[in-house]
Every structure is written in C-alpha cells, then in structure tokens.
Homo-oligomer: A and B are copies of this chain.
Amino acid sequence: MSDDPLYTPLCRLLGIELPILQAGMAGGPTTPELVAAVSEAGGLGTLGAAYMEPEAIREAVRAIRRLTAKPFGVNLFAAPMRDDYSRYREVQAVLDRLAAPLGVPPRAGIEPVPTPDRLERQFEVLMEEGVPVISTAFAPLPERLARAARDAGRHVATMVTTVEEAEIAEAAGCDFLVAQGSDAGGHRGTFDVERHPNGALVGTFSLVPQVADRAGIPVAAAGGVMDGRGLAAALLLGAQGAQLGTRFLTAAESGAHAAYREALLASREDDTVVTRWFSGRPARALRNRFVAEAERAGIEPMPFPSHNTATGPMRREAARQGDAGYMALWSGQAPRLLTRDTPAADIVREIAAQARALLTRGRAN
C-alpha cells in the first residue's frame, strides 16, 4: 500500500494515479482534448455525452484514445426520456416571449419536437469502444446494462444527492458513487424530482460523510471542490476522491463558450440559483437575464426532457450570438476560485500538489 495520501482505493479501482475526476458535463465543454489531458495527468477525464448522437460519441472516444492510453469515462443521462408536452402551448409562449430579443422565431403555434431516447444506442457504443468508466446522472444505469458493463470489466458509477439514493445506486450495481452536494453546478443528480422538485439540496460538507458512512463502495465528493484544499477536505470527510466540473470549464482545453467563461470568471459565490427553466430538471446556474425573467413568469416549466428540447433553439441562438444572457451558465458555488485558461494538466497537478502538501503537513495555517 502506498504512503501517498492521494492514492486511495478509488484510484486502485479505476487504475488512475490521482483521485481527481473531471465531471462529464453535457453540452460541449468536455472536448476530447480536455478529457485526455486530465487522464494523461493522472486523473480521470470524462466525456459528457448525454446529448450526443451515438456515432458522435464513437468519434469523440476515438479522439480521446488517440491522445491518451489511460483510463477515462463517459457520462450519460439515465433518466427515462418520455416527453410530456401537455403544457406545451402555455410554456412555449413564455419561452417565445423571453427569447424574442435574440430573434428566435416563436414556436408556440407549431408542433413540439419529440426528444430522442438514445441511452441504449449510446451505451452500445461505449461497450463496443471499450470505454473503461461509464457514469450516469439522474439514475443508475438500468440493471441489464449495468450487468453487461460489469461483466465486460467496465466500471459503473452514478451521481447521488442523498443517502437513500446512495443505497439505491449501490444495490443497482454501481462500483463507485459521486456524492453531489448542493454546492455543485449544473443538473442536480436527484433521482426522484417529483419528491424533490428543486433537487435534494444537501451541502457537500454535510452530504459526503453521511454517504461515506453508509456506502460499501468508494465515494467521490462533488460540489465546490476547486483546488487542493477542496480535495484534501473531501478525503478527510470520508471521500476517496473528488469530482470537479466548474473548475475545468475555464481550462485551456474546455469547449465552454467564451462568453460563458467570461461570465464565470466575473461571478461571485452568491450569483447562482437552482432553476428548472433550462431543462425541466433542477440545475444550478448563474442567474442571467433568462433565468431572472423566467423565474418571474409565474408558471412552472415543462418536465424534463421536453422542456430541455423546447429551450434548445434559444440556447443554440445564444451560443451563435455569444449572448450569455440566454445560455445555460452552469456553475458551482465557488467561482472565485476559478483560474483563466489554465491547461487541464496543470490544474490536476496543482490540485494534487496542494492537497498532498496539506495532508502531509496536516495544517493549512
């Protein structure tokens, strides 16, 4: 057994050197260059593939493989993709009004677009391509898929926001868990959003030891981990690693839009809000113009995934125009700890060095 305080059982399980997981953020930030850089540096890079066509995932996985021979992960959404457009006209009319300043054509008068359900075909590609780690949000992989993955020697994980979800995920065959505190940016991983409409919002500091006490498998902490202090603290709270999303959004290799990066770098710890207005599921984002106006609309958004499909045209037009007022600016609660354009490998190495120093010295002061 290693004397390195950073070499945890999770590292051994995944065959990585450092317990630093880059979150599989959907929607473009996780370029093959970012994923590979994190893995090459000793952590676990993860492709956020939830919204990708299966063949695009295959291409990205092969691009990652050309850049690194080390383990990496791919993240998918394991929620049922059943559309519910029963409130389409009412909600789309609000979206039309809010997106009008961008010049997005109104859609309330036309038929809604069906949301594709790609999970099975996405999963098949991951199996065919031999992806070492398959992680999910919103639920564990369906039992049949999880078994197939494990039988093939792959590692399976899901994100949990309560102790009960950790118990469900472990029973569903996960190899490790990501305990996502309320500090985290992006979608809440909460399984049952009818019971927790805004997601379970237990702070990272509180969630990690309670999940670690109950879980018989390794736990990585997520939500507010930004530097070596965070990694060291996560390990002492009982985690065996940390997953960082926001920190990598402003990395050199990040695919996040330039306007999104600038918004992150200009933001403060109290600038985020948990909103369902981008996707229909609760997610933490910077409170931009769209969020502020949507939260005042006086009605509820549609459920996921239909609402997500409905806001697609607005989000794409915002990206085209570079208007951060209408993008989904996912962010955790520690944006003051962001750095600008740092190469991902440097981020990983600096976090590891700082955490190792803190854990070896045993004090920050």
Which A residues are closer than 8 A to B by beta carbons?
Answer: 5, 8-9, 162-164, 181-183, 196, 200-207, 209-210, 213, 223-227, 229-230, 232-238, 240, 268-270, 332-334, 336-337, 358-360, 362-365
For the complex, give the distance between the alpha carbons of A163 and B334 in Å. 11
Are B235 and A206 touching (Cβ within 8 A)? no
Point out the residues of chain B lying under 8 angstroms from A182, CB to CB: 182, 201, 203
Min Cβ gap A212→B in Å is 8
**Least CB separation from A163: chain B residue:** B269
Are B224 and A365 touching (Cβ within 8 A)? no
Instruction: Sort A-B residue pairs by CB-CB distance and give the 9 closest, nearest first.
Output: A183-B203, A206-B224, A206-B333, A203-B203, A233-B233, A359-B362, A204-B205, A206-B334, A205-B224
Point out the residues of chain B lying under 8 angstroms from A163, CB to CB: 268-269, 336
Point out the residues of chain B lying under 8 angstroms from A205, CB to CB: 181, 183, 203-205, 223-225, 230, 233, 334
4 additional A-B residue pairs with CB within 8 Å, beyond A206-B333, A230-B237: A203-B204, A204-B205, A204-B206, A213-B336
Provide a sorted-by-A list of 30 A–B residue pairs whose CB atoms are within 8 angstroms: A5-B363, A8-B363, A162-B268, A162-B270, A163-B336, A182-B182, A183-B202, A202-B270, A202-B333, A203-B205, A203-B223, A203-B224, A205-B225, A205-B230, A205-B233, A207-B269, A209-B226, A209-B227, A209-B230, A209-B334, A210-B269, A210-B336, A213-B336, A233-B233, A233-B237, A236-B236, A236-B363, A236-B364, A359-B362, A359-B363
For the complex, give the distance between the alpha carbons of A63 and B275 in Å. 49
Min Cβ gap A39→B in Å is 22
Min Cβ gap A311→B in Å is 25
Partner of A365, one of B8, B226, B232: B8
- A236 with B206, Cβ < 8 A, contacts A200-B270, A336-B213 known: no
Point out the residues of chain B lying under 8 angstroms from A362, CB to CB: 5, 359-360, 362
- A337 with B224, Cβ < 8 A, contacts A182-B203, A202-B269, A236-B232 known: no
Point out the residues of chain B lying under 8 angstroms from A364, CB to CB: 235-238
Partner of A233, one of B236, B240, B270: B236
For the complex, give the distance between the alpha carbons of A152 and B62 in Å. 70
For the complex, give the distance between the alpha carbons of A207 and B223 in Å. 11
Point out the residues of chain B lying under 8 angstroms from A224, CB to CB: 203, 205-206
Point out the residues of chain B lying under 8 angstroms from A201, CB to CB: 182
Point out the residues of chain B lying under 8 angstroms from A332, CB to CB: 206
Point out the residues of chain B lying under 8 angstroms from A210, CB to CB: 269, 334, 336-337
Point out the residues of chain B lying under 8 angstroms from A333, CB to CB: 202-203, 206-207
Point out the residues of chain B lying under 8 angstroms from A162, CB to CB: 268-270
For the complex, give the distance between the alpha carbons of A213 and B227 in Å. 12
Min Cβ gap A10→B in Å is 9
For the complex, give the distance between the alpha carbons of A365 and B362 in Å. 15
For the complex, give the distance between the alpha carbons of A270 and B230 in Å. 23
Min Cβ gap A223→B in Å is 7
Min Cβ gap A336→B in Å is 5
Are B203 and A229 touching (Cβ within 8 A)? no
**Least CB separation from A272: chain B residue:** B202
For the complex, give the distance between the alpha carbons of A238 and B358 in Å. 10
For the complex, give the distance between the alpha carbons of A223 and B201 in Å. 14
Min Cβ gap A149→B in Å is 25
